Homo-oligomer: A and B are copies of this chain.
Amino acid sequence: MFSVTDPAIRSYILYSSILALKVLFMAVLTGRVRYGKKIFANEEDAKFVKGKLKLDDPDVERVRRAHLNDLENIPAFWILGALYLTTGPIAEFACVLFRWYTGCRIVHTFVYAVKPMPQPVRGIVYGISYLINCYMAIQIIWHYSGAL
């Protein structure tokens, strides 16, 4: 019934992996700021590179907020995207949702943690990705509501 030759499933797999790589990349962004300013959260890290201990640097905290926002939203996409495919959506439409979700989350990271921009840019891309997650959740709940 489910096959990796199905275009919607292939799209889900591809975009989920791109998002995972994007989440992993946040560690590079945090590291770049930490090493650039020589500011660390652990004594053993500060000692190792002769940096100093600081837990409230605004530049580090900004990247960490962007990272946390990913964790609040992207694992939900991973599960919802997979379960949404079991409700039998139109393949082209599912692909559009996955593509937009991923695009918005990449722009979100860029305007949040790479090059901060005035609102409402971040709000808009966050909102679109958020609504896509909610839409998929509601579709699944509706489709399987008999299992309550």
Contacts and interface: CB of A to CB of B under 8 A. Distances in A.
Interface string A106-148: 0000000000111110110000001001100110110011111
A51 B130 CA distance: 23
Contacts of A67: 72
Contacts of A7: 147
Q: How many copies does the complex hold?
A: 3
Interface in A2-50: 3-4, 7, 10-11, 13-14, 16-18, 20-21, 23-24, 26-27, 41-45, 47-48
B72 A17 contact: no
Given A44-B119, A72-B26, A13 B83 contact: yes
Interface residues of A, number: 61
B10 A147 contact: yes
A21 to B, nearest CB: 4
B119 A47 contact: yes
A80 to B, nearest CB: 5
Contacts of A144: 10, 13-14, 17
Contacts of A52: none
A100 to B, nearest CB: 13
